[in-house]
Each structure stands twice: as C-alpha cells, then as structure tokens.
C-alpha cells in the first residue's frame, strides 16, 4: 500500500501559528511545477520491484488549492504515466475555503481528486483573524455547501483548539456547526506555539501563552466525547472519522508503509531508508530535487522508536506479537516500563495490543518518550 505525497510550498499569506515550509512568492508556481514533474519522472523507480499499485496520492502544503485544476491534472497525469495507480486510489487535496468556487470544485472532480481536506480551523471570525487566516467564517460555511453540492462525499475539515484567547465551550460549539454538514473526517489539533512563528514572537514578549495542561486535557476529552456522540471514531490522537473513512494516506505513515514525497522539504521512506528534500525553493527550482536530497539508513533502534511513536498515537495501539517478532531485544528492555505504565493505568493491554487508556492517551507523547531506546 504505497503512496505519494506532493508538497505544494505556496501560500498567499503566512498564518500566525504555522511553521511548515512555504513561500509567498506565487510567481514561481509554473517554474515549480516543471521541476516537480521532473522529480516525479526521475524517481519513477523509487518503489523498486514492488508491484503494488499506488493506493494514495496526497497534495499537502502550503496551499494546494492555489494551483489551477489544469496544474493538478498535469501532476496526476505525470504520476499515472510513471507509477501504477490503483483504480480505487484515495486522492486528497488540501484546500482553503476562500479558494473554492463551484466551478473550481467541478473541475477538480474531473481531475480525479476524490477527497478534500478543508482548512477551516475555526467557524468564528475572531479566531480566524487572530490566527492570521485569510478566509472568514461565512466562506467556510459556503465552501462546505458547494463541496457537497458538487458531489464530493469523502470530505474532512481541520480545526484548532487550545487557542489562548478562547475556552473549551467556544471550541466545542464548532462541532455544533460541523454537525450541519455530512463531513466524514475531522482533524483537530492543539495549538503549539513554535519559536519561528508570529505567535512565537508574541510568546517571547509575554503577550501570548498556551493554556495549562489540565485545561487542554479537559478540552481534548470533551472533544472526544462530543465527536463520539456525532458518530466519529477517534482513531488517532488528532484524527476522527465516520463510516470507516479514515485517512488512508496518513494511516499508511503510521503503519510504516513506503511512500514517496516530492517537492522541497518533502520526506520519503522506502522501508529501510529515509530521504528528505532540502527546504529550499530557490535551489529546487534552479537545480532540481537531486541537488539537495539527503538520506539515512534507519537502524533497528530507529525503526523500533518510530514504531512506538507511531502506533501508540493510534487507538489500536501496538501489536505485542509484532513487536516481539521484529524487535525482541528492545521489547525485553522496555517490557518492565510498559508494565509500570499499565499498573498506573496509563496503558492497557487487551487482545494482544497495548494502547493508551483514557487517563494516558492525552499524555501519550510523554509515555512514548519514556519508552524510547536512547542507546
């Protein structure tokens, strides 16, 4: 179940909280596409002799919806000419509400895009303005109406909670608004204030601060419970879905399935080695991906730590037999610590799986860090 990630590193403006690699130099879009297509052609043998068809294609960013339907179609055609793509492949495009129109959405459907991830972030204008988003709440509602009117069914939205100026009840009222639409996927992320962002600057000036952990945990579980009432399955720390429509692309990451990432700052994994393209748009356009690509071979310890990190963030957790089979020596080292967390009721073991309890899942990152093999 291999996949391809396409990084679109362009945004009209910079949001106050975002530290993803991006550029506001939109005039470089056409040059970028030329180099992106070149990379896809040059890396057509990335998956080697594997005969499995591509199961997922994901356009992330940045803001992929800044690209015309013709550009999206060109990229997808290049992929299909150089990689075998499954007939039922999940093909996702991240979009901003203010980029959407009925005409654009109809054109996107014709390209083969069959899943949309909409960067709503909040249905309240005060939140959007303070976060530096370029759309307003009305545009979010209108874009959702257009999305379903034009025939898209597998649709997800992103929301952000833990905003310094807001409280849990205000955030949860976003779900009341969401309930008016047949959205099948929800990604809800707690705000993290990163040093290189506008919010990071405000934090250093003591003009902004994150809510304390106890308040954040209350919101997290209130979100979990309300989403469950709405028919959502909480299948990963930040992700919920209805009707089994989880993100197949992201789930492949968590299952350590090989994937190819194209574009500056994109990462790839072939099952043994990790690759990453340099975060430099100018170099990418002038010299192509190969001038800045780096690679490392993952050690058994690296693979074990990644397994812990990825699996324990999911509701299913990690398979004990699988861990013993692939990482027996490391399992023997961490088993006493696993049992310690089980006794404290932060982890639970059932049906051959170990996963976070209601008490432990919110702090699962700290538990994972405790279990990491460092030497």
CA distance 305 to 373: 7
- Quick one: fold of 299-375? Arc Repressor Mutant, subunit A (1.10.10)
Instruction: Give the tokens for residue 95.
Output: 């979009």
Determine the pLDDT at residue 210: 86
Query: Which CATH code fits 2-253?
Result: 3.20.20.70
Please tell me the pTM assigned to this model.
Answer: 0.95
Determine the pLDDT at residue 50: 61
Determine the pLDDT at residue 19: 83
Determine the pLDDT at residue 49: 67
DSSP single-letter state for residue 65: G
Any idea what the Cα angle at residue 287 is, between residues 281 and 292, rounded to 5°?
70
Instruction: Give the tokens for residue 319.
Output: 């398979």
Determine the pLDDT at residue 375: 80
Q: Residue ranges per domain, the chain?
A: 2-253, 299-375
Q: Which residues, given as ranges, of the chain have pLDDT below 50?
A: none
Determine the pLDDT at residue 203: 92
């Amino acid at each position: 179940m291999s996949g391809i990630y396409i990084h679109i590193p362009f945004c009209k403006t910079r949001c106050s909280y975002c530290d993803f690699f991006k550029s506001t130099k939109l005039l470089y879009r056409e040059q970028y596409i030329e180099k992106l297509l070149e990379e896809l052609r040059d890396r057509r043998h990335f998956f080697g002799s594997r005969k499995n068809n591509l199961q997922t294609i994901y356009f992330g960013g940045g803001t992929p919806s800044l690209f015309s339907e013709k550009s999206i179609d060109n990229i997808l055609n290049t992929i299909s000419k150089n990689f075998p793509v499954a007939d039922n492949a999940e093909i996702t495009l991240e979009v901003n509400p203010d980029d959407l129109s009925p005409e654009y959405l109809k054109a996107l459907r014709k390209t083969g895009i069959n899943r949309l991830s909409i960067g709503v972030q909040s249905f309240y204008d005060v939140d959007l303005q303070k976060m530096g988003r370029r759309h307003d709440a009305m545009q979010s509602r209108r874009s959702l109406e257009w999305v379903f009117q034009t025939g898209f069914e597998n649709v997800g939205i992103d929301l952000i909670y833990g905003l310094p100026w807001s409280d849990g009840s205000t955030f949860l009222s976003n779900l009341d608004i969401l309930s008016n639409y047949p959205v099948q996927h929800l990604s809800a992320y707690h705000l993290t204030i990163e040093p290189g962002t506008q919010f990071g600057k405000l934090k250093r000036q003591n003009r902004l601060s994150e809510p304390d952990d106890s308040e954040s945990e209350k919101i997290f579980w209130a979100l979990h419970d309300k989403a469950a009432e709405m028919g959502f399955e909480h299948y990963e720390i930040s992700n919920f879905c209805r009707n089994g429509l989880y993100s197949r692309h992201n789930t492949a990451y968590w299952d350590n399935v090989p994937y190819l990432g194209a574009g500056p700052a994109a990462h790839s994994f072939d099952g043994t080695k990790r690759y990453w393209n340099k975060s430099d748009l100018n170099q990418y356009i002038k010299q192509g991906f190969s001038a800045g690509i780096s690679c490392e071979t993952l050690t058994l310890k690296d693979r074990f730590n990644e397994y812990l990190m990825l699996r324990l963030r999911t509701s299913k957790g990690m398979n004990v037999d699988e861990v013993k089979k692939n990482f027996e020596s490391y399992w023997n080292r961490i088993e006493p610590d696993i049992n310690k967390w089980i006794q404290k009721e932060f982890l639970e073991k059932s049906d051959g799986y170990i996963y976070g309890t209601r008490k432990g899942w919110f702090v699962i990152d700290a538990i994972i860090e405790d279990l990491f093999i460092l030497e």
